[in-house]
Amino acid sequence: MHELLIATHNPGKLREFAAIFAGLELTLRTLDDLGITDDIEEHGSSFAANATLKAEGYMALSGLPTLADDSGLEVAALGGAPGVYSARYGGVTGPAQLQYLLDQMQAIPWHARLARFVCVIALARPGHATQLVEGTLPGVIEFEPKGSGGFGYDPLFYLLDEHATLAEISAERKNQISHRAAAARAARAVLAQW
């Protein structure tokens, strides 16, 4: 059984990865399991750069093969913003962040509100080059928040195939179609080769 560090303190994220990696001979560890409290600064200009910084940084601290991800929202009409700044876009969080995004887009018509969620996973192991995989989820930015599920930008992210926002679909369905799930399935293929 091989150990893999999932570079997170988030138990929900660990559960998502555990479900997708089921059947691989892996024991998943978190930063909390290993008592790692250091924060690796995400100062990269892309999701790939930030995921790589975290994977390689936590691998160096733990000595274990490490998976780290970085993700966010890219809105075409805003030149890809908020991008790597998704968590702190406009200098605000929570409902104020949704309003900030809506304010940025108020003059943009429905057909020009295309967006996508992106998740990049970096897989680092001692003595090898770090490998990157990516998952995306296309959608459209709504004119107002809808739904009470999910988190972050989910109430504004409308899925054409689902006829609903991410906040209006079940957690199970979200975990099947999300950008993180797509990236995790690609990561599983890499881990199976290891």
- The pTM of this model reads 0.92
3-state secondary structure of 73: strand
Q: How many domains does the structure of the chain reveal? A: 1
Count each helix (H run) and each strand (E run) in the chain, helices first.
Answer: 5, 7
Is 103 catalytic? The answer is no
Range of 50's domain?
Answer: 2-193
CATH assignment of the domain containing 49? 3.90.950.10
Q: Is 128 annotated as a binding residue?
A: no
- CA 62, 175, 114, 97 dihedral sign is negative
From the candidates 39, 70, 103, 161, give the one annotated as an active-site residue. 70
| pLDDT single digits (tens) 83-131 | 999 988 999 988 899 999 999 999 999 999 999 999 999 999 999 999 9
Q: Is 95 annotated as a binding residue?
A: no
CB 53 within 8 A of CB 40: yes
State the angle between helix axes of 179-193 and 11-20 in degrees (0 to 180), rounded to the nearest 10.
60
Q: Is 113 annotated as a binding residue?
A: no
